[in-house]
Structure 1
Amino acid sequence: MTAPVPAPEPGSAPPEPVEFPLARSCPFSPPAAYEGMRGSAAPTRATIPSGKEAWLLTRYDDVRAALSHPASSSDARHPAFPALGKGEQAVAAELRPFIRMDPPDHTRVRRMLVGEFTVRRVREMRPEIERVCAEQVRHLLSLPAPADLVGEYANRVSTTVICRLLGVPLEDLEFFRRITTVSGSRSSTEEEVGAALADLFGLIGRLIDEKAADPQDDLISRLVTGPLARGEITRRSLLSQIGITLNAGHETSRNMIPLAALALMEHPDQLALLREDPSLWPGAVDELLRYLSVADVITLRVATEDIPLEGATIPAGDGYIALLGAANRDPAAFPDPGKLDVARPQRNHVAFGYGAHQCVGQNLGRLEIEVALRTLFDQVPALRPAVPPQDLPRRSASAIFGLEEVPVSW
């Protein structure tokens, strides 16, 4: 890799690359090493599991500048694409989900989906999401305490919501959990990811045929009778786009809901503010998204041309990772960034990414997290963790950070 400017002092060797990814020492905070990286004059060089090297961006302004630059490429077919998972690059390069495309292909496919996730469309979904969350709280309370907030609440809520949006039958919750776990794990091989996605695409393929013959009021039906029928997208590409929408819609909420609930239980003063003034909830969700940054390492990019930063440059042809968790804890952007403040007025976090690839489902994500948390704390006021947070098993090998289980009592 070419060293970004500023170059090292004459006669000195460039610093050794760090091994990446780094583990969180606290489930609520990004790795502590990010703070030191943010203070250096140039991006940090890192070695990733594939054996490649990539630059790590940790400053808020650098992350936004790099992600919004026209030379920022998400195309997984690029040799320097900094995939962290063993099978991630090969599968993404073959299937080409829209999050791993560049314009104009990315723009064309994203336009097919964006109408389903507008503020108005998502607002119309609130009553249904409220019913789903209330139903799953009743399920949780039907179990002996302690019960697992991940498997018995968050997984059931996130899977139900995204499947109903898409029009996927909810016959086996564990099926979707297995698919997203395998496909989102950095330790999964290309063969393991391929087998899991083959199972998922088999299900989606059958649904495409069914909905072509008998369309319903759901996203898959609208894609099948619209873009697919008009020849604007191939069946193979449609399978991939539906698959990534299902995967991402399930995995982010499944990890965010229990971690956010635990953070509020560990900050009873902040939970008390929300109980006193429920109008704070929408802003609190944005603050929790910033504070937790579960999608910290999802923004993998390649510079197709030199990308200038403040005082440095990402050289053309190099891969880089814009660390969202580091940017969201940058004191230059957020006063006292390590403090959870549900009344924080700033909502300019980058938890959903930034630029052309900013998460298309962010409006749904915000609403789903808000309703899931409000319903949980309203209906279970005595909710409390049954295990200290530092003792909970973490999903450190996943593309989206989370906890394997969160036992709670009431």
Structure 2
Amino acid sequence: MPRRVLVFGPAYLDRVLRVDRPLLPPGLGGPLDLSVGVLPGEGGTNEGLIVLEDPEGGTIEIEAPGGWPERLSPILRLDRPLAPGSGPWRTRARGVSWLDDLGGMGAGYASALGGELVSALGGEDDPISAEIAGMLRAQGIAHHPTRVPGVGADWTLLVSSGPHGDKLPIGFRGCHSRLDAYPGPTGGRRDLLVVASLTNPLASSALRAVDAHVRVFAPTLRNMTDAAFPVSSFAHRFDVLCCNRREWESLADRDEVAGRLPLVSVTDGPDGALIRFRDPEGRTREHREPAFPRAHSPRDTNRAGECFAATLLRTLLDSGWSPGPADPGLVRLAARRASAAAALVLDLERFGFPTPGEIDRAVGRGEVGRGAP
């Protein structure tokens, strides 16, 4: 019987801008894997340049690629530092290409897990909402949209340095910020619920409203640093936490949160991932999974996090895991398959995820990027 999966999280329009070099100057701790927002208002315009300024004076100037849809690109004031504590700095990159694609963690998890998606769209007359809806249909993602009249859809300027490993999503938020409670279906028990990339009050609302055998929370940095509605206040509502290292280290009470959960997955880009779990004897264990071997540099790091987490979850659940203790051998197997899946998705320059067969073949070969797919 097919697994009943429900995902509550955003589907965006991603305007992907690929650049020719790392986004941070040498010595500032790159590559970036950080979601940021834009402060209200524009700081002026620069013809032919996309200028990103953070609160500490760090500045990235990007030469717009050919065909870039904005003739005058605004100076975007980012809402958080890109390299905290580094003070003012300046670097420049050249845009080599751009494209519009489906994005958002909600869409990613729904596609990778074969689940239904609950997300918001703008009003019926909003062209970006219509484009997102068409992209979801084209991907075969069953969608439960909540229309928010009078506002536009969310979209993201996603700056990627491809083989250099940077991923900087810059969010322009509209419809999802207007939601104050979970708006989707609640009838029937789900096998798996994933709540991703939404505010902590919204995440808590969904986790409370939907009955599910396994409940997963996939946060962003803002979730982890929200002092007004901390993750620890609703950690009893989910079973698995999936995040990256920077997000995990930003959670002030992470040891308390981890102590409540059967499983925590923390990805760390080229340094692999850490899985924290309890074994059948009740001991807390940690498994460190290295990044899967590759024959060439990544083409695009977008979607690697949700691909890793989705494959980890599918492997555990396919082997009969329920929230609670996990066999160390099963965790190793799941982490290995998840690492291979993330390596495969690094070669995809458009929205998409590897199949289980492709993942198993990569695990068998022990490497991605050489030989048959």
TM-score (norm: length of structure 1): 0.24
Per residue, is there more helix in 1 or in 2? Answer: 1
Name the larger-Rg structure. 1
Between 1 and 2, higher relative CO (CA 8 Å, sep ≥ 6) is seen in: 1
